Amino acid sequence: MDAELLSAAAGIRLLALDVDGVLTDGRIHYTSTGEELKSFSILDGLGIKLVRRHGISVAIITARKSDMVTRRARELGIDHCLQGREDKLAALLELLRETGISLAETAYMGDDLPDLGALLAVGLGMTVANASSEVARRVAWQSSARGGEGAVREACEMLLRARGAWESAIEAYLLAPGP
């Protein structure tokens, strides 16, 4: 990581995430009865839990409304879940006013044009490997994984490494079980 990216990542207190194309692969499946289905990566889920354990709040900001997103946010202990918010930057600014966190202390991970305002306003704009080219060329960091396939996990690991907390984050998983 270059020094500027490392410095920005080390100071992050809030990780805000888009859903479709970031936490999911961006596809929406409908059953014959009209139910909507989405798939979430377990890798991303653990990454979110790890950053939360190390003092980074997590928010979801998405234009769509979905009971599945509410459920997944609850399962992961995500601090803020803002749905039905097409203006991602306005939603983010409202959240920052509520929390007292600054734009400079915020990372936002999005994948497409509706995310650009938020991506360009925050201290650390991030995207997925398969992001829109307009997004990819404007952000500070891009994962090697595609949306819904561990991209958020990569972002979480990068944030923890930047603040020197990665070894602490995995410590519990390295301990040998007792006799």
- Short-list 46, 55, 56, 54, CA closest to 173: 46
Q: Are 55 and 13 in contact (CB under 8 A)?
A: yes
Note whether 126 and 108 are within 8 A (CB): yes
Using CA atoms, how far residue 134 sits from 27, 73, 109, 111, 174, in Å, is: 20, 28, 14, 9, 40
Q: 1 or 16: which carries more pLDDT confidence?
A: 16
Express each pLDDT in 92-110 by its tens digit. 999 999 999 999 999 999 9
Please report, to the nearest 10 degrees, the dihedral formed by the alpha carbons of residues 160, 105, 91, 152 taken in order: -20
Confidence bin at 15 (pLDDT 50/70/90): very high
- Model confidence pLDDT, tens digit, residues 80-91: 999 999 999 999
Average of pLDDT values for 60-79? Answer: 96
| Encoded tokens for 57 | 């709040």
Where in 43-111 does DSSP place strands (E)? 57-61, 80-82, 106-109
Contact of 69 with 83, CB cutoff 8 Å: yes
Residue, of 159 and 27, whose pLDDT is higher: 159
